[in-house]
A and B are shown apart, each in its own frame.
Chain A
Amino acid sequence: MSLPLAEKAGQHPLPIEFADEKESIKITGFWMFLVTDVLIFASLFSTYAVFRTSVAMGPTPDQLFRMGPVMLETILLLTSSFTIGLGVYFMRKGQVRALMGWMIVTILLGAGFVGTEIHDFVTFAQMGATWHTSAFLSAFDILVGTHGAHVTFGIFWAITLLFQLRKRGITPQTARKVYTYSLYWHFLDIVWIFIYTFVYLNGKIV
């Protein structure tokens, strides 16, 4: 899969989502939005780093985390990042059915991720480890919870996109919407890699 580079743009036509100037400006705007979201997560990560050891009377990260569900979540989310990439590939080829198919796979993988995460949180709550317990759990819940809320929002967003695709097919507008959605989804994947490393692995090792 080769992405067209800027210097080649003269020779090859731009991908459909960049072809319309107005839609292309919206993609720039979406990158700027992602900047703010990066900073939201950066603030949450720094909060977590500060509060990591403030466990009060509650469990420590090492006592709390179970790596099995976390591995499952990781596999589901990383795979979904690949499938939305395939979706965008087929979108550029103009194959709306393949695009919708891969989006549905992405949604299902995302739902699997959210389901596992909710199950995990409910398990913690049953053990009495809610965010009332300690600052560590407050910081953990808000960091991982914000990510999970983003994924949930992404799932509903993708469902609305499916309706638009079914009605309108692949146009510069719908293509731009799918493309920004894929950027969002990849971004959540990257954030998860950081959560996996700095929260879960770090919690288990340190």
Chain B
Amino acid sequence: MPSFVTYLIHTLFPPTVRFPDILLIDAGLVLGGLGLIGFLTKTHRWGWLWREWLTTVDHKKIAVMYLISAIVMLFRGGIDAEMLRAQLAMPSVHFMPAIQYDEVFTTHGTIMIFFMAMPFIFALFNAVVPLMIGARDVAFPRVNAMSFWLFAFGAILFNISFIIGGSPDAGWTAYPPYTGLAFNPGPGENYYFLSLLIAGMGTTMTGINFLVTTIRMRAPGMTLMKMPMFVWTTMVTSALILFAFPPLTVALAMSLFDRLFGSSFFTLTRGGMPMMYVNLFWLFGHPEVYILVLPLFGVFSEVVATYSKKALFGYPMMVVSVLAIMFLSYGTWVHHFFTMGAGPAVNAFFGLSTMLIAIPTGVKIFNWIFTMWGGRIQMTTAMLYQMAFIPTFVIGGASGVMLAVVPADYQLHNTYFLIAHFHNVIIGGTLFGLLSGMYYWWPKMFGMKLNERQGKVAFWLFFIGFWITFTPQYLLGLKGMTRRLYTYPAGLGWHELNVISTVGAWIMGAGFVALVYNVVWSLLYGERDVTGDPWDGRTLEWSLPSPVPEYNFARIPVVHERDAWWAMKQKGQTMAHALRPEDVHDIEMPKNTPIPFLLGVSFFVLGFGMTFKWWPIAIVGILGVIACLLFSGFDYDDHHHLEADVVRQTEASLGRLQG
């Protein structure tokens, strides 16, 4: 065999990716891929895929692509979680060897945060924010498509690591010096840094895009204090992204340079300082947890108002508390490493600032409760998630305040108490919020409702499974079980609690199956939404038909009240948006472009080449990036006019034209 073939096999398929389960997945992926290619060829869908999806700049289609990716990633991260729980169910189980266990908890955390929660949030942003503010698209539609493809190819680069070359295994935080070349010579950590850098660029661009969209693109009359709460949280989240991602970019790039080019930022020799990485990482990492939860505070604010048939209680205080959380979130990052030993004064400051965040959060909790107070509550699936969120998030927040007490943190740091705490807030806040938003806006995105009965089954499985999984973990933490432990001996009193926790994880897995069944069933047989306003909603997206036409609004609405659509309905002005045929004009729309997709491909090639230090491939990637930038710089043909006739026909077919 020629030597380079041996080299390739040795590099691409080292022993760590030759476990039987991984080989099985390899076979499954190859078969699945061939099946997909065969299906697309047989049904002649390649052109459709290219024109309608890969080159689209329509925010509504980008939202659908984000949503599909997020659910696929939820599946991947969930499988990782089930594997971890299977390993820990019994003492001294060696279902996975230590190295594979390390890889699985690393990919579980990284995927759930960067490749599940973030794109799911962006799916909701893209799906409804332009509709809520009465805009025809986001501020920069092409940049929006670039954001998606950078995220998508970053996610692909990260996900191929477990079948090609080996996964990262240093935890989702990737602390040096363990990520250094001396301790971690494989390509795994290169995958981690490069995929997060690529996806992080996309995220930063999304932040810029939605900040400008919410600042500059609002319909006439929609002042800041008349924006729907979800738009407020979108704006604040985008600002958080703007300020949080650069430190992460710097920290990741420095770690990568240490590994690839021999610099000495975080090495143990030549004056390097690993704690600097930890500071930079959490300077991003703490705002990141608010990036993950604030949009869902917005979702809950919309959901609770709609299903309680009341305006959101204390809207100005909600705005103030969101802004307070935004500012405070930058002053708390040291609470992730109190045990670094920065001294009592520093730790006391960060302990107090952490507790302070509980105040604006508590204000919001009370506002949601008071919104429900005296309302006519409809127990839909979205509302169930909202109601489950309140106690879950309160308990998760309270355990967070416990961790903010510095002496207690010295005891609880990196134990299962911490694991239970952050799953309590991230599942209770973020995942419940995402699913609530998905059930709430599904009719607007796809034109049909998700089946409520199946949705409630999935909800109860998730909710009950969640508590069975994580309540024992608080106790395990108090009993001294530390995180990232690949197995444990019998006789420590951890066994029973771990069994319960694993059973809970299975129940949550069943919840996921029920969710997917619900989605697929509803896509096939779901109740069509012919009204465009199935929930009797309050904000402008419900004034449009479902699914929304390409141009969103035939005429940009004028806003007078906070819950604009509700006010129109109260005043009997729901037909005010209906146009006379002669009032329909040409609409300027952004034009499809292949550049964002090709840019994503180029970055993928660049990332893959750098992961294995195959510089010629990396250079091909760089040339691709340069070509894409040059092409878009000289491309002035970026929009087209939708003929008035087309708009007239579409509106008439939807029954929205007068006369």
Is B246 touching A39 in the complex (CB atoms < 8 A)?
yes
Is A160 touching B139 in the complex (CB atoms < 8 A)?
no
Q: Which of A43, A139, A163, A173 makes the CB contact (< 8 A) with B247?
A: A43
Is A164 touching B265 in the complex (CB atoms < 8 A)?
no
**Which stretch from A103-111, A120-128, A130-138 is at the chain B interface?**
A130-138
Q: How far is the CA of A74 from the CA of B283 in the complex (A)?
A: 32
| Minimum Cβ distance to chain B for residue A29 (Å) | 5
| Minimum Cβ distance to chain B for residue A39 (Å) | 4
Q: Which of B242, B267, B276 makes the CB contact (< 8 A) with A32?
A: B242
Is B633 touching A160 in the complex (CB atoms < 8 A)?
yes
**What are 7 A-B contacts with C-beta separation under 8 Å?**
A36-B208, A47-B254, A51-B265, A51-B273, A131-B264, A135-B272, A139-B265
Q: How far is the CA of A182 from the CA of B352 in the complex (A)?
A: 44
Is A173 touching B270 in the complex (CB atoms < 8 A)?
no
Identify the closest chain A residue to B215 (Cβ). A28
Q: Which residues of chain A have C-beta atoms less than 8 A from B217's C-beta?
A: 25
Q: Which residues of chain A have C-beta atoms less than 8 A from B242's C-beta?
A: 32, 35-36, 39
Q: How far is the CA of A28 from the CA of B272 in the complex (A)?
A: 39
Is A141 touching B263 in the complex (CB atoms < 8 A)?
yes
| Minimum Cβ distance to chain A for residue B568 (Å) | 26
Q: Which label, helix, strand, loop or mixed, suits the secondary structure of the A interface?
A: helix
Is A56 touching B270 in the complex (CB atoms < 8 A)?
yes
Q: How far is the CA of A133 from the CA of B267 in the complex (A)?
A: 12
| Minimum Cβ distance to chain A for residue B511 (Å) | 38
Residue B212 CB within 8 A of the other chain: yes
Q: How far is the CA of A51 from the CA of B245 in the complex (A)?
A: 22
- Besides A36-B246, A39-B242, 6 more A-B contacts (Cβ < 8 Å) are A29-B208, A47-B276, A56-B264, A57-B270, A133-B264, A134-B264
Q: How far is the CA of A44 from the CA of B253 in the complex (A)?
A: 11
Q: Which residues of chain A have C-beta atoms less than 8 A from B237's C-beta?
A: none
| Minimum Cβ distance to chain B for residue A75 (Å) | 29
Q: How far is the CA of A163 from the CA of B633 in the complex (A)?
A: 11
Q: Which residues of chain A have C-beta atoms less than 8 A from B139's C-beta?
A: 25, 28-29
Identify the closest chain B residue to A47 (Cβ). B276
Q: Which residues of chain B have C-beta atoms less than 8 A from A44's C-beta?
A: 250
| Minimum Cβ distance to chain B for residue A43 (Å) | 4
Per the 8 Å Cβ criterion, residues 249-280 of B in contact with A are 249-251, 253-254, 257, 261-265, 267, 269-273, 276, 280
Residue A26 CB within 8 A of the other chain: yes
Q: Contacts A28-B212, A36-B204, A142-B254 known; A132 to B264 CB distance under 8 Å?
A: yes
Q: How far is the CA of A160 from the CA of B635 in the complex (A)?
A: 12
Residue B175 CB within 8 A of the other chain: no
Q: Which residues of chain A have C-beta atoms less than 8 A from B254's C-beta?
A: 47, 138, 142
Q: Which residues of chain B have C-beta atoms less than 8 A from A56's C-beta?
A: 264, 269-271
Binding site for B on A (CB under 8 A): 25-26, 28-29, 32-33, 35-37, 39-40, 42-44, 47, 50-51, 54-58, 131-136, 138-139, 141-142, 160, 163-164, 168, 173
Is A43 touching B246 in the complex (CB atoms < 8 A)?
yes
What does the 1/0 interface line of B67-104 toward A look like (CB < 8 Å)? 00000000000000000000000000000000000000
Is B250 touching A40 in the complex (CB atoms < 8 A)?
yes
Is A54 touching B243 in the complex (CB atoms < 8 A)?
no
| Minimum Cβ distance to chain B for residue A8 (Å) | 21
Q: Which of B243, B253, B265, B273 makes the CB contact (< 8 A) with A39?
A: B243
Q: Which residues of chain B have C-beta atoms less than 8 A from A35's C-beta?
A: 242-243
| Minimum Cβ distance to chain A for residue B134 (Å) | 15
Q: Contacts A25-B216, A36-B246, A138-B264 known; A54 to B273 CB distance under 8 Å?
A: yes
Q: Which of B208, B262, B273, B636 makes the CB contact (< 8 A) with A135?
A: B273
Q: Which residues of chain A have C-beta atoms less than 8 A from B253's C-beta?
A: 142
Residue B209 CB within 8 A of the other chain: yes
Q: How far is the CA of A35 from the CA of B241 in the complex (A)?
A: 11
Identify the closest chain A residue to B213 (Cβ). A25
Q: Which 6 A-B pairs have the closest CB atoms?
A: A54-B271, A39-B246, A135-B271, A43-B250, A138-B263, A56-B271
Interface size class of B (residues with CB under 8 A): 35 or more
Q: Which residues of chain B have C-beta atoms less than 8 A from A173's C-beta?
A: 636
Q: Which of A50, A58, A138 has the largest count of B CB atoms less than 10 A from its CB?
A: A138
Is B271 touching A29 in the complex (CB atoms < 8 A)?
no
Q: Which of B140, B208, B249, B264 makes the CB contact (< 8 A) with A40?
A: B249
| Minimum Cβ distance to chain B for residue A67 (Å) | 24
Is A29 touching B209 in the complex (CB atoms < 8 A)?
yes
Identify the closest chain B residue to A177 (Cβ). B633
| Minimum Cβ distance to chain B for residue A155 (Å) | 14
Q: Which residues of chain A have C-beta atoms less than 8 A from B636's C-beta?
A: 168, 173
Q: Which of A42, A43, A132, A163 makes the CB contact (< 8 A) with B263?
A: A132
Q: Contacts A25-B216, A32-B211, A54-B272 known; A135 to B250 CB distance under 8 Å?
A: no
Residue B27 CB within 8 A of the other chain: no
| Minimum Cβ distance to chain B for residue A14 (Å) | 15
| Minimum Cβ distance to chain A for residue B458 (Å) | 38
Identify the closest chain B residue to A161 (Cβ). B633
Per the 8 Å Cβ criterion, residues 222-253 of B in contact with A are 242-243, 245-247, 249-251, 253
Is B634 touching A164 in the complex (CB atoms < 8 A)?
yes
Is B212 touching A134 in the complex (CB atoms < 8 A)?
no
| Minimum Cβ distance to chain B for residue A47 (Å) | 6
Q: Which of B263, B276, B283, B630 has the largest count of A CB atoms less than 10 A from its CB?
A: B263
Identify the closest chain A residue to B143 (Cβ). A29
Is A32 touching B634 in the complex (CB atoms < 8 A)?
no
Is A50 touching B264 in the complex (CB atoms < 8 A)?
no
Q: Which residues of chain B have C-beta atoms less than 8 A from A29's C-beta?
A: 139-140, 143, 208-209, 212
Identify the closest chain B residue to A26 (Cβ). B140
| Minimum Cβ distance to chain A for residue B12 (Å) | 29
Q: How far is the CA of A58 from the CA of B265 in the complex (A)?
A: 14
Q: Contacts A51-B276, A132-B263, A138-B264 known; A39 to B247 CB distance under 8 Å?
A: yes
Q: Which residues of chain A have C-beta atoms less than 8 A from B247's C-beta?
A: 39, 43
Is A135 touching B264 in the complex (CB atoms < 8 A)?
yes
Q: How far is the CA of A42 from the CA of B271 in the complex (A)?
A: 21
Q: Contacts A29-B139, A36-B246 known; A133 to B208 CB distance under 8 Å?
A: no
Is A160 touching B250 in the complex (CB atoms < 8 A)?
no
| Minimum Cβ distance to chain B for residue A57 (Å) | 8
Q: Which residues of chain A have C-beta atoms less than 8 A from B245's C-beta?
A: 36
| Minimum Cβ distance to chain B for residue A102 (Å) | 20
Q: Which of B140, B204, B270, B636 has the largest count of A CB atoms less than 10 A from its CB?
A: B270
Is A33 touching B280 in the complex (CB atoms < 8 A)?
no
| Minimum Cβ distance to chain A for residue B287 (Å) | 11
Q: Which residues of chain B have C-beta atoms less than 8 A from A51's C-beta?
A: 265, 271, 273, 276
What does the 1/0 interface line of B186-227 toward A look like (CB < 8 Å)? 000000000000000000100111011001110000000000
Q: Which of B207, B280, B634 makes the CB contact (< 8 A) with A47?
A: B280
Q: Contacts A36-B204, A50-B276 known; A138 to B212 CB distance under 8 Å?
A: no
Is B265 touching A47 in the complex (CB atoms < 8 A)?
yes
Q: How far is the CA of A173 from the CA of B280 in the complex (A)?
A: 38
Is B263 touching A142 in the complex (CB atoms < 8 A)?
yes
Q: How far is the CA of A55 from the CA of B264 in the complex (A)?
A: 11
Q: Which residues of chain B have C-beta atoms less than 8 A from A37's C-beta?
A: 246
Q: How far is the CA of A168 from the CA of B280 in the complex (A)?
A: 45
Identify the closest chain A residue to B626 (Cβ). A156
